[in-house]
């Protein structure tokens, strides 16, 4: 039984997790969540009737420090016709860099994806009483 559990957990951590999003029993999207040692990727794509009504392919990627989960880079590509958006944010020398714009981040900063990776890889008990600095876009 222990060997089977180890195989299942290893397979999930190596290949990621796949989710089927449904509304009233109808499949509307598929999502893939993949957490690695220092990065997390999420891909979301509509299917079925939702693909006809509102086609969407969204891809998010965050690279973070594997010790404290502060994010280093964030990439977002959204294709929700007619909206198309692409963003790349890099944390350099305590500044968030987006295109040629700089925003000072003097303290360690996390984003939603690095927080989810921290929860998935660690213990929620360790996070219970901590205040964490977040960047909403990155």
- pLDDT tens per residue, range 22-64: 889 989 999 999 999 899 999 999 999 889 988 999 999 999 9
Residue 6 lies in a domain: no
Residue 101 lies in a domain: yes
Parent domain of 33: 17-127
Q: How many domains does the chain divide into?
A: 1
Joined tokens for residue 104: 């000072």
Q: Which residues pair with 96 in a beta bridge?
A: 91, 103
Q: Report the pLDDT value the prediction gives residue 13, as an integer from 0 to 100.
A: 47
Quote the pTM value.
0.75
- Residue 4: pLDDT band with limits 50, 70, 90: very low
- Residue 8: pLDDT band with limits 50, 70, 90: very low
Q: Report the pLDDT value the prediction gives residue 15, as an integer from 0 to 100.
A: 53
Residue 94 lies in a domain: yes
Give CA–CA dist 123/132, Å, rounded: 15
Mean pLDDT within 92-110: 69
Judge whether residue 109 has pLDDT over 90: no
């Amino acid at each position: 039984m222990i060997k089977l559990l180890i195989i299942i957990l290893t397979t999930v951590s190596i290949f990621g997790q796949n989710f089927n999003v449904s509304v009233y029993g109808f499949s509307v999207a598929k999502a893939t969540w993949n957490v690695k040692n220092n990065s997390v990727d999420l891909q979301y794509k509509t299917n079925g009737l939702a693909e006809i009504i509102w086609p969407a392919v969204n891809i998010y990627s965050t690279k973070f420090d594997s010790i404290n989960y502060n994010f280093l880079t964030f990439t977002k590509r959204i294709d929700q016709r007619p909206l198309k958006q692409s963003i790349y944010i890099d944390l350099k020398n305590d500044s968030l860099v987006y295109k040629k714009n700089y925003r000072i981040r003097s303290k360690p900063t996390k984003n939603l994806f690095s927080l989810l990776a921290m929860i998935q890889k660690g213990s929620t008990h360790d996070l219970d009483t901590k205040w964490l600095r977040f960047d909403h876009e990155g």
